Amino acid sequence: MVKECMTFPCSVYLMKAVRMCLRNEENKMELESRVAVVTGAGSGIGRVIAQALAGQGATLILVGRREKRLRETAADCTNGEHDVQVLCLQCDVGVEADVERVRAAIAERFGRCDIAVNCAGVFRPKPGTLLHESDVAAWDAVINTNLRGPWLLLRALTPMMIAQQYGRVINLTSGLKHAAGHGVYSISKSALDALTKTAAQELKRHNILVNALNPGWVRTEMATNAPDDPHKVVPLALRLATLPDGEPSGVEYHV
């Protein structure tokens, strides 16, 4: 039996490296047969997670509002190092007809969906705006993207996952829940957590695990001054995308 020796730190690092390599190989074997949808895939955390899934061989459906940005992500995912299928679908996740078009395209092209990652998100109005100072347009924009969008996608893809008795859903949450001065965004993420827990209870009997990923404060278009690189979310995202059957569901995981 191999044991880590605290006297020689290099052995600890070696064991950690070996475990990471073995886990990467397990992820690759698991994901090479999977079809994954990533919303908000044109930038930030969505792009990073899409690249990571591509690196492990998953078939990808990239979803977002900006077609040019989606194609840039697709180019990163198929840069010669990865032999993967990538489908780009321009979509506003808060619009039912758009999400239905995504579902139909997935059903026609692949006939299945194994993984859904809800990364699409907006932040309005500017930080420091109190709830009573927020306008209706900001409320609608944030709730439609951050809450209605994940629900619409879950609603569209769940029947496929139930039919195959397998699914892994990852909802990007935030530490800014119940946070004064971030009112509308805060409410949307708090409600998304409730959606995650409710869906987890309803779907676990179908081997569909629904969990939340809290990335911490990472640099994105919404947080250009954040200290952390978005690539820090990759290990946890891959773990949640490949959770074995029977693992916890309805949990908020922190990077």
**Tens digits of residue pLDDT in 227-243:** 677 788 999 999 999 99
What does the pLDDT look like over 23-68, one tens digit per residue? 555 666 789 999 999 999 998 999 999 999 999 999 999 999 999 9
> Is 253 among the catalytic positions?
no
What does the pLDDT look like over 112-143, one tens digit per residue? 999 999 999 998 888 888 999 999 999 999 99
**Per-residue confidence band for 14, with pLDDT thresholds at 50, 70 and 90:** very low
**Per-residue confidence band for 3, with pLDDT thresholds at 50, 70 and 90:** very low
**Does the pLDDT at position 16 exceed 50?**
no
CA-based nearest residue to 63, from 78, 43, 34, 82: 43
237 within 8 A of 213, measured Cβ to Cβ: yes
What does the pLDDT look like over 165-187, one tens digit per residue? 999 999 999 877 777 777 899 99
Tokens of 48: 């990073």
pTM of this structure:
0.86
Query: Could you state, in order of their start, the residue ranges of all structural domains in the chain?
Result: 32-254
45 within 8 A of 231, measured Cβ to Cβ: no
pLDDT score of 13? 38
What is the pLDDT averaged over residues 69-88?
A: 88
**Does the pLDDT at position 245 exceed 70?**
yes
Mean of pLDDT over the chain = 87
Q: How far apart are the first and last CA of the chain?
A: 30
Tokens of 98: 């758009």
Fold of 32-254: Rossmann fold (3.40.50)
Q: How would you classify the pairing of strands 86-90 and 59-64?
A: parallel
Catalytic residue, chosen from 13, 166, 185, 253, is 185
pLDDT score of 23? 56
What is the pLDDT averaged over residues 148-155?
A: 98
pLDDT score of 188? 96
Sign of CA dihedral 87, 88, 91, 94: positive
**Does the pLDDT at position 18 exceed 70?**
no
Write the CA distances from 245 to 23, 43, 202, integer angstroms. 16, 31, 16
pLDDT score of 41? 96
pLDDT score of 220? 66
Tokens of 45: 């955390």
Higher pLDDT, 193 or 10: 193
**Per-residue confidence band for 248, with pLDDT thresholds at 50, 70 and 90:** very high
**Does the pLDDT at position 226 exceed 70?**
no
What is the pLDDT averaged over residues 88-101?
A: 98
pLDDT score of 216? 78
pLDDT score of 98? 98
